[in-house]
Amino acid sequence: MCHDVTKVVTCEACRQRRATEEVGDDDPDEPYRVCGECGERLRQRALRPLEWFNLAAKHGWCKYLLHDDFYDDDGTAHQPTADLYSADGMLAPTLDEAARSLGGLVDYCITRWQLDAIEYNSVRAFPAEVVLEELKRRAATGNRHVLEVTLTLCANVLEHGAAPWVRAQYERACDHNVLFCWAEAAARCLPHPEGMHKTVDALRAYSGPELRERKDALMWFRSPSVLDWIESHAPSANVTNDWGRLAALSGLSWSRVEAWLSRGRPLSLVALDALTEFIPRPGQAPIVTRLQPKLKGCPDGLTLTRALEAYMAVDTAPRVTGTCRYLIEHTHELRE
């Protein structure tokens, strides 16, 4: 949807010409204000890298017209419908170029598909109080994706000095379904166990698939208290392996695994899935690769094998026998 721009503003894409139209997307409250030329390239999925970068830095790259279905994370269009497409002279800034200013660096971070130590270290080069003020300013724009990035940067760059701001974002994080990113910031910036308690409170509003989707926010706290929460909230049927992942990241011990195996389903399935997360393998969830959980009180291989064989004798379902056999084969690889 397009309609006239009523006040004089600069094109958000090229940042050179006057914006002459507003192009809608999947967020009707935040249209792109662009000139005619950029508007046409936007609709044709043919933005040049710098134009894509400028829009993604303001709106986030998750929106349909900027999505990674159409662009690489350097802004290169790979499905342009325009007859002629060239990025000459319009490349997006590199990290080194963006890091010349804090504003440019935050722009760069907002456009990334994922952030890593190299971006966090670049942000740490600026004074913490200046970084916090910039993150506050960006988050105040109201964009959901931008809020997620500012919370992630806060978690990985700032510490307890950011606690008041993180605390103030709690209700907004709940309303905008960014509890996962807020919980990471809360785990790093708020005193324990405040963040975990607030996250548990937020989860009280959900059940079923919605609870399953949002519960992963508890992963950041690495707390055995989450295991008690799992005992009360694990579904009675259709236990997916993400419940085991949450358990593995929450200080799971062998004594708790034994207790869950003895209680049977659903907790026995959670325990088995959790054990697989302690074995490094390709394709594990990024958060597991990053945090590398370890099984507390890990027994010797013979003890573990006997426990798994005993459980297989009780529960002969293919899922159970397959998981137990995998674990027995890889007991020597368990992170302890």
Domain span holding position 149: 94-206
Q: Note the pLDDT of residue 258.
A: 98
The pTM for the full model equals 0.93
Taking CA atoms, 224 is separated from 221, 247, 267, 277, in Å, by 9, 8, 15, 16
For residue 211, is it within any domain?
no
Q: Note the pLDDT of residue 27.
A: 84
pLDDT tens for 164-199 read 999 999 999 999 999 999 999 999 999 999 999 999
For residue 81, is it within any domain?
no
For the chain, list residues with pLDDT below 70: 1-7
Same domain, 165 and 240: no
Same domain, 19 and 106: no
Same domain, 238 and 200: no
Same domain, 202 and 238: no
pLDDT tens for 16-75 read 999 999 999 888 889 999 999 999 999 999 999 999 999 999 999 999 999 999 999 999
Q: Note the pLDDT of residue 98.
A: 98
Q: Note the pLDDT of residue 47.
A: 95
| Residue 222 near residue 244, CB atoms below 8 Å | no
Beta bridge partners of residue 50, listed in sequence order: none
Q: Note the pLDDT of residue 5.
A: 47
Residue whose C-alpha is closest to residue 119's, from 136, 133, 137, 131: 131
Same domain, 273 and 177: no
CB hemisphere CA count around 213 (13 angstroms): 8
Among residues 66, 83, 118, which one ends one of the domains?
A: 66
